[in-house]
Every structure is written in structure tokens, then in C-alpha cells.
Amino acid sequence: MDWTALTVSLKLAAATLLVLIPAGLFLARALAWHRFRGRAWLEAALTLPLVLPPTVLGYYLLTGMGAGSPLGAWFQGIFGAPLAFSFTALVLASVIFNLPFALIPMQRAFEAIPREVLEAAQSCGMSRARTLWRIELPLAWPGIISAVVMCAAHTIGEFGVVLMVGGSIPGETRTIAIAIYDRVQAFDLQAAGVMSAALLFLSLAALAFTSRVGGTRLTRP
């Protein structure tokens, strides 16, 4: 068992959730309740990571974060280190490829709150913050939990995008999924087997938990 790789994976999952869940909540509410121009395109773009091959997504992310790209150059200028193949690049990529896994369950959960319930909150004189805290979040809770679990499990298991953007730097960008690949390449099938079993169990438990809490099921083509 490569504990360092597992730690990198868990750190990556935590960082991803920290960024993605608050941003996802804001986006999911906007998509659930507001009609605006270009909404269909925005929704399609946010769902794109579900259908794109990970290598394609990884390619665009890598070129977008390379030293020659505006983002890469800006990052290098500020932090004095390249963005590509860093843990930060991994977090950025992870946030992007997890967008649909966070957004879809949360958006559905917000959409399921009856409009009249939200109107009643206004008529009760509840402030926006109180309505969010007392009404919206508790009612959307199963969807939010679904999003958290799905994103965490998906981050820990993602391979293609992570390899493209992060490479396999031990302690920095080598996640458990990549460690399994490395072990197989080195014919260490026992270590690969232990880690694969751990990931299998983790994914199964996450799906079962999600199904129980939220009833939302996601499938990746």
C-alpha cells in the first residue's frame, strides 16, 4: 500500500471539495431557479467533463496551464514555480472534471424545493441568509451530501486527467490511482491488488451511501 499516494489523493479530494462545494452551491442554485440567456450552453459546458474522454480534458488543461499559456505564465510570475505538474494544477483540474458530479445532484435538489415554499419564506419576512440556512440547505441536504460523496470518490479514483496534468511525482502529484498503474508497470501485482481493492471498496461504499441518502445516481459513459 502506497500511503503517500493515498495521502495525496485524500488531500486532493479535501482541497477539491473545499473549492467546489461552495462554488457549486452558488452555481446550482442559479441554474435551478434562474432563466437567463446562454443557460443551455452554460449547462452543456459544465456537464462536458461527463462525456469528454479524460485524455482530451487533460490535454486542454495541460496546455491551458503550461508555461506558455497566460494562466501558466501568470502563476509562474507570482509564485516562481510552474503550474503544470504541481499539486495546485491537480486541484484546479480536479475541480473542473468534478463540476458535473457536484452540480447535477445539487441542482436537482434545489429544483425539487417547491417555489411556494421559498415564497412562503419571503412572506414570513425571513432574510436571504436565514432562508438559505433554515430552508434551502436542509431541504437540499441529500443532494449536497450526494455531491460531496460523489466528488470525493471520483477525485480519489480519477486517473487520465490526473496523469496528464500532474504526471506522477511522489508526494506531490502521484495519487493512489496512478500508484496502482505504476505498480502494475513494475509487475508488483500484489501491491496493485491491495490498492485496487481499497479503491473498489471506497467507490462501492460511496455509491451505496449516496443512493441511500440522496437517491441520485450518476453514471459515467
Q: Which residues bind another protein (CB under 8 A)?
A: 114, 116-117, 119-127, 134-135, 138-139
Nearer to another protein, 1 or 120 (CB): 120
Longest Cα–Cα distance of the chain, Å, equals: 66
Minimum Å distance from CB 116 to another protein?
4
Minimum Å distance from CB 109 to another protein?
13
Decide: helix, strand or coil at residue 170: coil
Nearer to another protein, 119 or 188 (CB): 119
Nearer to another protein, 120 or 197 (CB): 120
Q: Are 99 and 150 in contact (CB under 8 A)?
A: no
Nearer to another protein, 126 or 198 (CB): 126
Distance from C-alpha of 30 to C-alpha of 24, rounded to nearest angstrom: 10
For residue 24 the three cell numbers come to 457549486
Minimum Å distance from CB 137 to another protein?
10
Nearer to another protein, 125 or 221 (CB): 125
DSSP string, 83-116: STTSHHHHHHHHHHHHHHHHHHHHHHHHHTS-HH
For residue 49 the three cell numbers come to 467533463
Minimum Å distance from CB 149 to another protein?
21
Q: Any residues with CB less than 8 A from the CB of 48 and at least 6 apart, and which?
A: 57, 100
Grid-cell match 472534471, residue found: 97
